[in-house]
Amino acid sequence: MIRSMIDDDILTLEEVAKYLRVSERTVYDCAQKGEIPAGKIRTSWRFKKSEVDKWVNDKLASGNLNAQINTIHVQSVLSSQRIIFLNNLSKREALLTLAENLASAPQIKNRQELAAEILKREELMSTAIGCGIAIPHVRLSSVTDLVVSIGISRMEIQGFNPMDDEPVRLVFMIAAAFNQHAYYLHTLSWFSNRLKNKDLRASLLSAQTPQEAYDLFTK
């Protein structure tokens, strides 16, 4: 039985693979090459969770996260049912509407907490990242696994105050379990990097159905 990663700071190779959502072979290869902090007990690799988290943070900050590690399986975190069109809404209305949609996912166990924490996070600092995109995100103990909802607006969403002054029209809401720090960062990075593509943003804004938008990420 796999030990709880919350209670135990020393992880096995299998636990790190589950934590990072990659194959055990990928973790093994990274450990063998010295690309990820690890140590050996006899013939078995062991990893300190705090060091794995720091390694992920450092790699993301430098833009050097291994592409193999940074792969996100979109089908496991997003469905076409969690892509909705938001029109003529304020920031607060857009966030609450998207939070309600996200709460329909079985991974969300407390929809009231989700909505409240999303709004609280937004009050601290705008989640607009430029290019007409906002990525509101939270980690909660009431969430069992990472899940994503996307809002596409035909009109400008007022209130995000983006630094580049380009009005927000695409909102990607991410909720993760409290112990999914690394995977949470991977997902934020993956969506942020993909959305730098101007053609992808334009295609999302012109999508006529949720399925069409979903296909842009999965095909």
- Apex 189 CA angle, 57 and 135, nearest 5: 115
Model pLDDT for residues 159-193, shown as the tens digit of each residue: 998 889 899 999 999 999 988 888 888 888 888 88
| Torsion angle of the four alpha carbons 199, 201, 205, 211, in this order, in degrees rounded to the nearest 10 | 90
Classify 10-62 by CATH class. mainly alpha
The fold for domain 74-218 equals Mannitol-specific EII; Chain A (3.40.930)
Closest CA to 81 of 205, 213, 217: 213
Of the candidate ranges 108-117, 130-139, 178-187, 209-218, the one whose mean pLDDT is the lowest = 178-187
Q: Please classify residue 142 by burial: count the beta carbons closer than 10 Å to its beta carbon, then call 0-12 exposed, 13-18 middle and 19+ buried.
A: middle
Phi first, then psi: what are they for 95, rounded to 5°? Answer: -65, -45
Exposed e or buried b for every residue in 111-130, given b needs 16+ CB within 10 A?
eebbbebbbebbeeebbbbe
Rounded CA gap, 187 and 150, in Å? 13
155 or 42, greater pLDDT = 155
Identical fold between 10-62 and 74-218 = no
Task: Give the type of residue at 67.
Answer: A
pLDDT band at residue 42 using 50, 70 and 90 as cut-offs: confident
Model pLDDT for residues 26-37, shown as the tens digit of each residue: 888 888 888 888
% of the chain at pLDDT higher than 90: 51
Please report, for the chain, the start and end positions of each structural domain, with discontinuous segments joined by +: 10-62, 74-218
pLDDT of the residue at 166: 92
70 or 169, greater pLDDT = 169
pLDDT band at residue 3 using 50, 70 and 90 as cut-offs: very low
What pTM was computed for the model? 0.73
Catalytic residue IDs: 137
| Average pLDDT rounded to a whole number, residues 96-119 | 96
pLDDT of the residue at 70: 56
Model pLDDT for residues 43-67, shown as the tens digit of each residue: 888 998 888 888 877 776 665 665 5
Task: Answer yes or no: is pLDDT of 6 > 70.
Answer: no
With residue 192 as reference, give the H or E element that holds it. Answer: helix 181-194
Task: Give the type of residue at 38.
Answer: A
